[in-house]
Amino acid sequence: MRHVAIIYKRMRPEAARLARQLKEWFENRDIEVFLKENIDNSGVSPVYEKIDIPDTVETVVVIGGDGTFLSVARFIERRSIPIIGINLGGLGFLTEISADSCFAELGKILSGDFDIEERMILQVTVKREGRKIFSHRILNDAVINKGALARIIDLHASIDGHFLTHYRGDGLIISTPTGSTAYNISAGGPIIFPTSQAIIMTPICPFTLTNRPIVLPADVTITVEIGEPATDVTLTCDGQIGCLVQDADQVVVTAAATPLRIIKAPGVDHFEILRSKLKWGQV
């Protein structure tokens, strides 16, 4: 490893401090470092600023929480650069290495003691009157939901051109296995092991109680058409970027060709993270 990028959570002094320490640590091992504070892309918008990561970077280190990790994953886009997440607190679902143990874990990684996980990415496209008006890749989920005062949403879902069902409710979550522990789990959706190849559709507060979450194969094309009337309805991707949708718009979701590659330190156990974050087994 000759060149790494370190991107850290903005407006967090402890993140900047750890980033500078890591930069010195890498440089003492003759590794070039590209250091950058993350960009503020708060608020739902169809466009976002991005950090141009140099082509020579071999690994990206993210310091922050899962939200920072999700935004940096967008900067990588279709490149195959592996990414490492360091959580400023304990453990995160994506930022799996704690700040306290990061130097020891990175030392193991530099010695070759690590695995690389490939996480499924979804491509989400909005079509209006046959034109593509929005398109982004997501690591967690795409959420179609209504504003606080909006009426129930009507959504017509099809799988590979075959009609699935008519959803009426507060919205719909389309999730990757990685995103199954995000909004999906709060809406009653299933937890899927993060390296699985599957797509989850989970209705949000459905009017019809028999509308239940469904797990689909990774190679399907999901098309959700927005029914009438559609006022104050938003498509949000990974909770950070999105657009307003209107009746007759089509939201098309497919698996992206290039997965995200995450470096797994040997001391990190996904089931340990589940127990810690979800407080399983605690009295």
Can you tell me the distance from the alpha carbon of 110 to that of 176, in angstroms, rounded to the nearest whole number? 30
From the candidates 30, 52, 66, 113, give the one annotated as an active-site residue: 66
- Please name every residue paired with 156 in a beta bridge, in sequence order, or none if there are none: 166, 225
Q: Are 221 and 253 in contact (CB under 8 A)?
A: yes
Can you tell me the distance from the alpha carbon of 39 to that of 48, in angstroms, rounded to the nearest whole number? 9
Can you tell me the distance from the alpha carbon of 266 to that of 268, in angstroms, rounded to the nearest whole number? 6
Local structure of 189: helix, strand or coil: coil
Name the DSSP class of 93.
S
Q: Are 177 and 194 in contact (CB under 8 A)?
A: yes
Closest CA to 79 of 55, 98, 104: 55
Q: Is 141 a catalytic residue?
A: no
Q: Are 6 and 32 in contact (CB under 8 A)?
A: no
Local structure of 237: helix, strand or coil: strand
- Please tell me the chain's helix, strand, coil percentages from 3-state DSSP, rounded to the nearest 5: 20, 40, 40
Contacts of 50 (CB under 8 A, 6+ apart): 39, 74, 75
Can you tell me the distance from the alpha carbon of 225 to that of 161, in angstroms, rounded to the nearest whole number? 12
Which residues carry out catalysis? Answer: 66
